[in-house]
Amino acid sequence: MRTTKLVFLVIVGLAMIEFSIGRPRFAVAATTAPKTSHASPRIAAPAAKPAKKPQAIVRKKAKASSAMKGMAVVYSDKLNGRKTASGQRFSQKHLTAAHRTLPLGTKVLVTNVRNRKSVEVLINDRGPWTAGRIIDLSAAAAERVGLGKTGKILVQLEIVSQSAVNKS
């Protein structure tokens, strides 16, 4: 079922990109015969605007020096004990998190924007894959920043250190 949804979302996304990049609105049609006008020779026709080239869509990667803001949620209890992207077993008791683009092994300071509570977590998994979310927190980390078992909060992420394995 998940594969079907993923394939559907990819197809819809590609269709949206094609639609947005499609033929420009003000493109001038090429003709071989000269146009004749019944207008007075003193009145010039307005000049056609040149068509703009479509720009490529670029996905931004997380910058090591910048702070990021976004919504944080708690990992599902269903994932407790399963392997993460880093190969470690996930535990709700550890201060870990999932992020889409930060290197595995990166330590991040997560700060609740409302109450200013912070916690340092280790990125050991990939996700969240729901739009509008920036990070998934373990239950222990979520409790420290003031997020209960359910819900989501606005947080700010600051990179504390990156893994020695992922540094170039």
Summarised one tens digit per residue, pLDDT across range 53-65 is: 555 544 455 554 5
Cα(136)–Cα(92) distance, integer angstroms: 11
- Per the CB < 8 A criterion, the answer to whether 155 and 121 are in contact is no
Residue 151: what pLDDT?
81
Closest by CA position to 27, among listed 64, 54, 65 = 54
14 belongs to a structural domain? no
Q: Which residue has the tokens 């068509």?
A: 51
Q: Which pLDDT value is given to residue 45? A: 59
> Position of tokens 């870990």?
96
Asked if residue 23 is part of any domain, the answer here is: no
* pTM of the predicted structure, to 2 decimals: 0.58
Number of domains in the chain: 1
The answer to whether residue 6 scores a pLDDT higher than 80 is no
Residue 132: CATH number of its domain: 2.40.40.10
**Among 3-17, 35-49, 142-156, where is mean pLDDT lowest?**
35-49
pLDDT value for 59: 45
Q: How far is CA 36 from the centre of its chain?
A: 52
